């Protein structure tokens, strides 16, 4: 186990009706805020109406910026930064999923740091100053509601890049599982895949003696899988299943599961190229990449891959043949992804397979990726090819 520091100060307010606490929570930090969301389902569901009512009752003023979309765009972030500065807002309140929250995080950084916001994503600058963020989560997926992560797409490129600044951790996050009832099944499935992937990125480590966090990761993954099956068997409005998924999504990415470990994160990098070039949903890309990544690494610490198959997917037989057990785990994972409507091959999407060499070149832009096994351009190309069809 490695030495580590762990501190997560996000206040989680979880359960039915909690969106009505938005005003009171916000008022502890700000009198004037930027309210940031898609302007679509958040309005149609009546959620934004209730949030505004709550803000009004708490004496909080707001300026609104709508238009957030999946793979959130730099242009909207820049617009948000201008508004935040002009209006002197004191907090950014994101209502939505990871896209709204990440867009809000980038705005919060830009509002406190002059210059080109993209420089932070190009790793040219760092900061410990940002406006405070509050979130009202509607899509359990990214775990951005209690993480420091923020991923933005720069349309001029296109590039998809992330920053990780502690000052970007939300001060509060309101999570009402009922808000996820009306998600389209595809979005529910993408979210489930994303949170599984966040756990897998941490689970696949070469650090020995990380038993407690292994157990926690496995428990989180089993809970996600079991409750995903409930939701996709007619349980769209099953509060308890939606609640398990929503809380699991936050824990998958609040960094508790990383304590003492070194995660991998190559699969996230490999997926970012799919999202950037073809605007594929992040979860869908991960459902394609992860099985290929495991297959490519099947001889790298096979006992860990076999443990994953046994503990998470219920595969028996690891005592006879670890590699075979590990592969059976991949097979079951693919079946699970298919069962919730995710693609598991690039050929099932709009992705142009002839651009694999280009994607492999782009993904190592900052150097080799991954920690479980360092991957160079050739490795990346091989994994994209394994994922092809």
Q: Enumerate binding residues for a second copy (CB under 8 A).
A: 1-18, 208-209, 211-212, 215-216, 218-220, 222-223, 226-227, 239-240, 243-244, 247-248, 251, 256, 259-260
Least distance from a second copy to the Cβ atom of residue 234, Å: 17
Are the beta carbons of 73 and 152 closer than 8 angstroms? yes
Nearer to a second copy, 25 or 271 (CB): 25
Helix locations, 297-373, DSSP H: 302-313, 322-339, 356-363
Collapsing DSSP to helix, strand or coil, 233 comes out as: coil
Least distance from a second copy to the Cβ atom of residue 337, Å: 21
Nearer to a second copy, 45 or 238 (CB): 238
Least distance from a second copy to the Cβ atom of residue 325, Å: 20
Least distance from a second copy to the Cβ atom of residue 18, Å: 7
Least distance from a second copy to the Cβ atom of residue 258, Å: 12
Rounded distance, CA 140 to CA 220, Å? 14
Collapsing DSSP to helix, strand or coil, 74 comes out as: helix
**Cβ contacts of 3 within 8 Å, gap of 6 or more:** 260
Least distance from a second copy to the Cβ atom of residue 136, Å: 15
Are the beta carbons of 92 and 65 closer than 8 angstroms? no
Least distance from a second copy to the Cβ atom of residue 93, Å: 18
Least distance from a second copy to the Cβ atom of residue 11, Å: 4
Least distance from a second copy to the Cβ atom of residue 35, Å: 23
Nearer to a second copy, 63 or 259 (CB): 259
Least distance from a second copy to the Cβ atom of residue 261, Å: 12
Nearer to a second copy, 266 or 310 (CB): 310
Structure tokens at 80: 């948000």
Structure tokens at 258: 């990383």
Nearer to a second copy, 244 or 334 (CB): 244
Strands 159-164 and 149-154, sheet pairing = antiparallel
Q: Dihedrals φ, ψ of 263, to 5°?
A: -80, 175
Nearer to a second copy, 211 or 300 (CB): 211
Identify which of 307, 308, 30, 271 has the alpha carbon closest to the alpha carbon of residue 142: 271
Cβ burial of 243 (10 Å; 0-12, 13-18, 19+) is: buried
Nearer to a second copy, 243 or 342 (CB): 243
Rounded distance, CA 329 to CA 324, Å? 9
Angle subtended by helix axes 282-296 and 322-339, to nearest 10: 170
Nearer to a second copy, 1 or 353 (CB): 1
Nearer to a second copy, 218 or 323 (CB): 218
As a whole number of Å, the CA-based R_g of the chain is 20
Nearer to a second copy, 6 or 366 (CB): 6
Instruction: Report long-range pairs for 293-298 (Cβ below 8 Å, ≥24 apart).
Output: 293/266, 293/267, 293/383, 294/326, 294/329, 294/330, 294/333, 295/327, 295/330, 295/386, 296/379, 296/382, 296/383, 296/386, 297/372, 297/373, 298/323, 298/326, 298/327
């Amino acid at each position: 186990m490695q030495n580590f520091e762990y501190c997560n100060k996000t206040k989680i307010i979880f359960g039915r009706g909690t969106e009505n606490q938005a005003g009171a929570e916000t008022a502890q930090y700000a009198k004037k805020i930027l309210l940031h969301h898609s302007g679509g389902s958040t309005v149609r569901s009546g959620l934004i109406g209730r949030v505004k009512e709550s803000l009004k009752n708490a004496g909080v003023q707001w300026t609104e910026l709508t238009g957030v979309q999946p793979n959130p765009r730099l242009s909207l972030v820049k617009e948000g930064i201008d508004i935040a500065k002009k209006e002197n807002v004191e907090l950014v309140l994101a209502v939505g999923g990871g896209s709204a929250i990440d867009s809000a995080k980038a705005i919060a950084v830009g509002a406190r740091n002059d210059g080109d916001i993209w420089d932070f994503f190009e790793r040219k600058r760092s900061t410990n100053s940002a406006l405070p963020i509050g979130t009202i989560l509607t899509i359990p997926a990214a775990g951005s509601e209690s993480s420091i992560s923020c991923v933005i797409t720069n349309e001029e490129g296109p590039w998809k890049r992330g920053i990780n600044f502690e000052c970007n951790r939300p001060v509060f996050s309101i999570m009402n599982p009922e808000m996820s009832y009306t998600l389209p099944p595809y979005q529910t499935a993408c979210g489930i895949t994303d949170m599984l992937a966040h756990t897998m990125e941490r689970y696949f480590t070469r650090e020995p003696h990380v038993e407690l966090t292994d157990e926690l990761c496995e428990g989180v993954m089993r809970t996600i899988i079991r409750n995903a099956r409930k939701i996709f068997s007619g349980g769209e409005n099953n509060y308890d299943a939606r609640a398990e998924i929503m809380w699991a999504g936050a824990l998958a990415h609040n960094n508790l599961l990383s304590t003492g470990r070194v995660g991998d994160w190559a699969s996230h990098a490999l997926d970012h190229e799919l999202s950037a070039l073809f605007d594929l949903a992040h979860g869908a890309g991960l459902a394609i990449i992860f099985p290929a990544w495991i297959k490519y690494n099947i001889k790298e610490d096979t006992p860990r891959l076999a443990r994953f198959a046994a503990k998470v997917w219920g595969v028996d037989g690891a005592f006879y043949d670890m590699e075979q057990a590990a592969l059976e785990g991949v097979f079951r994972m693919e079946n699970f992804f298919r069962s919730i409507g995710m693609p598991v091959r690039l050929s099932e999407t709009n992705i142009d397979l002839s651009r694999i060499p280009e994607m492999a070149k782009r993904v190592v832009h900052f150097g080799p990726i991954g920690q479980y096994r360092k991957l160079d351009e050739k490795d990346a190309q091989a994994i994209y090819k394994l994922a092809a069809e």
